[in-house]
Chain A
Amino acid sequence: DAKTTQPPSMDCAEGRAANLPCNHSTISGNEYVYWYRQIHSQGPQYIIHGLKNNETNEMASLIITEDRKSSTLILPHATLRDTAVYYCIVRVETSGTYKYIFGTGTRLKVLA
Chain B
Amino acid sequence: NAGVTQTPKFRVLKTGQSMTLLCAQDMNHEYMYWYRQDPGMGLRLIHYSVGEGTTAKGEVPDGYNVSRLKKQNFLLGLESAAPSQTSVYFCASSLGGEQFFGPGTRLTVL
Contact = CB atoms under 8 A, between A and B. Distances in A.
A and B form one complex: yes
Interface of A: 2, 34, 36, 41-46, 49, 87, 96-105
The binding surface of chain A is classed by DSSP as strand
Contacts of B18: none
B90 A43 contact: yes
A105 B56 contact: no
A93 B47 CA distance: 15
Given A43-B101, A45-B101, A97 B56 contact: yes
Nearest to A45: B101
Contacts of A43: 4, 90, 92, 101-104
Given A104-B41, A105-B42, A98 B103 contact: no
Interface of B: 4, 31, 33, 35, 40-45, 48, 50, 56, 58, 88, 90, 92, 94, 96-104, 106
A4 B92 CA distance: 20
Given A42-B104, A43-B102, A46-B100, A98 B31 contact: yes
Given A45-B101, A104-B42, A98 B96 contact: yes
Nearest to A107: B40
B103 A102 contact: no
Nearest to A103: B42
B56 A98 contact: no
A2 B60 CA distance: 13
A44 B104 CA distance: 10
A99 B102 CA distance: 17
Given A101-B45, A102-B42, 12 more contacts: A2-B42, A36-B99, A41-B88, A43-B90, A43-B104, A44-B43, A45-B101, A46-B98, A99-B58, A100-B45, A102-B44, A104-B40
B103 to A, nearest CB: 5
A104 B56 CA distance: 23
Contacts of B106: 41
Contacts of B41: 104
